[in-house]
Structure 1
Amino acid sequence: MDAIEGIRPGLEGRLERVVEGELLTHHVGGKGTFSTPAMIGLMEITCHRSIERLLPAGHTSVGYEVHVRHLAPAAPGRTVVVTTRVAEVKGNKLKFEVECHEGDTLLGDGIHKRAVVPAMF
């Protein structure tokens, strides 16, 4: 597949969520904290949503690689903001830079890679 028209380096995505419910892990005690799997999941969702409207008909994007650091906690009830930016496009492969903040605090950052493929389901 050639490069997807409209998906270019610099394309950004953004998602805000309140830390609650399934975004919490409780094995740390107390009321819980924002979990690493939840943070990575929000990063993946934000990447996909940022390009979804630009995908060819009958196609979707799937994640195939994640390199993320979880640097700080976020308490229940706090709002986290995930930002993504397309860093590289090679054919059907997309590389995103991802970050998650709570206020001015960087909670996590890294790289997420996705591939544009025919939708099967």
Structure 2
Amino acid sequence: MTAGNGLRPGLVGHSEIVIDDTHLTTHVGGRGVFSTPSMIYLMETTAHDSVEQHLEPGTTTVGFEINVRHLAPAEPGQRVVVTTHLREVDGRRLLFDVACRRDDTLIGTGTHRRTVVRARD
């Protein structure tokens, strides 16, 4: 099994959300702030979605590593944008650069690795 003919470094993915109560951690007090797990979830799903249409039929990707720094807060009602860049394709393994921004502020950055697997029926 290979990664698929359409997978090439340079593929870009984008997603955005407006932060609501489901994206918050509240242990810091107040109404809460955008949680690191929510940011990571958006990074992973954006990477997945960016390559899915380029895969061979009957395959999908699963994440197996993420290395992220959460650099700044975001509050309820603010819009965050996640961007992923496919940096490397090595057989079935994919390496992405991931970033999350609130307006012009970088709030999260890192790398994410996925591998191509057979999809379950």
When normalised by structure 2's length, the TM-score is 0.97
**Corresponding residue for residue 60 of structure 1:** 60
Which residue identity is paired with 1:18? V
Task: Assess if the C-alpha contact under 8 Å between 1:85 and 1:96 holds in 2.
Answer: yes
Aligned residue number for residue 50 of structure 1: 50
User: Identity percentage over the alignment?
Assistant: 55
Q: How does 1:30-41 map to 2 (within 5 A)?
A: 30-41=30-41
Contact 1:99 1:108 in 2 (8 A): yes
Residue 3 of structure 1: how far off its partner (Å): 4.0
Spell out, residue by residue over 1:43-93, the C-alpha distance to the aligned partner (whole angstroms, 9 max, x if none): 000000001111111111000000000000001100000000000000110
Number of matched residues? 121
**Structure 2 CA distance, aligned partners of 1:3 and 1:24?**
35
| TM-score of the pair, normalised by structure 1 | 0.97
1:1-121 aligned at under 5 Å gives the runs: 1-121=1-121
Q: Using the alignment, how far apart are the partners of 1:27 and 1:13 within structure 2?
A: 31
Partners of 1:105 and 1:4 lie apart in 2 by 35
What SS is found at the alignment partner of 2:64? strand
Amino acid corresponding to residue 5 of structure 2 in structure 1? E
Question: In 1, are the aligned partners of 2:2 and 2:116 still within 8 Å (CA)?
Answer: no
Q: CA RMSD in A?
A: 0.9
Find the aligned partners of 2:12 and 2:35 in 1 and give their Cα distance: 24
List gaps (5 residues or longer) in structure 1. none
8 Å Cα contact 2:3-2:56 kept in structure 1? no
Maintained 8 Å contact 2:99/2:110? yes
Task: Please give the secondary structure, in 2, of the residue aligned with 1:50.
Answer: helix
Moved over 3 A (4+): none
Residues 3 and 55 in structure 2, CA contact (< 8 A), matched pair in contact too: no
Show structure 2 runs of 5+ residues with no match. Answer: none
